[in-house]
Amino acid sequence: MAKAMPRVGSRRNRRIGSRKSVRKIPKGIIHVQASFNNTIVTVTDVKGRVVSWSSSGTCGFKGPRRGTPFAAETAAKNAIRTVRDQGMQRAAVMIKGPGLGRDGALRGIRRSGIRLTFLRDVTPMPHNGCRPPQKRRV
């Protein structure tokens, strides 16, 4: 019987290492989505690929405490901690949403030591909004 030839491209032959520690990211974008119930902080590189993220819920806050500024600050610190190790020094901040976590997340980003290049509010605003429902006839 013939021997089975090992596949060259199989996963067993290659060592699989984590790519997160290898990447060096000097600049990035921090997206903050602040709703009334939760705050989500996402850190991306300049091309838009997600490097790190965190939210008030993943930091251990439950119920109405997720929407507080302190929970947003904790989420921002948690998301930025991993990218600080990868060499991020500058970042742009995009804030979206009407929640209380807007200021808290920004406070956490400022205290983390990353230099902010610019700060932009990207909350979607309707230009006249949706069409209202039809008037009720009885």
Summarize pLDDT for 39-98 with one digit per residue, the tens: 999 999 999 999 999 999 999 999 999 999 999 999 999 999 989 888 899 999 999 999
Structural domain boundaries in the chain: 27-121
State the sign of the Cα–Cα–Cα–Cα dihedral 52, 47, 97, 105.
positive
Count of beta carbons in the 10 Å neighbourhood of residue 110:
14
- The DSSP 8-state label assigned to residue 65 in this structure reads G
Alpha carbons 138 and 135: distance in angstroms, whole number: 10
Entry pTM: 0.77
The residue ranking higher by pLDDT, 15 or 131, is: 131
CATH number of 27-121: 3.30.420.80
pLDDT attached to residue 22: 61
Considering only CA atoms, which of 87, 82, 75, 81 is closest in space to residue 32?
A: 75
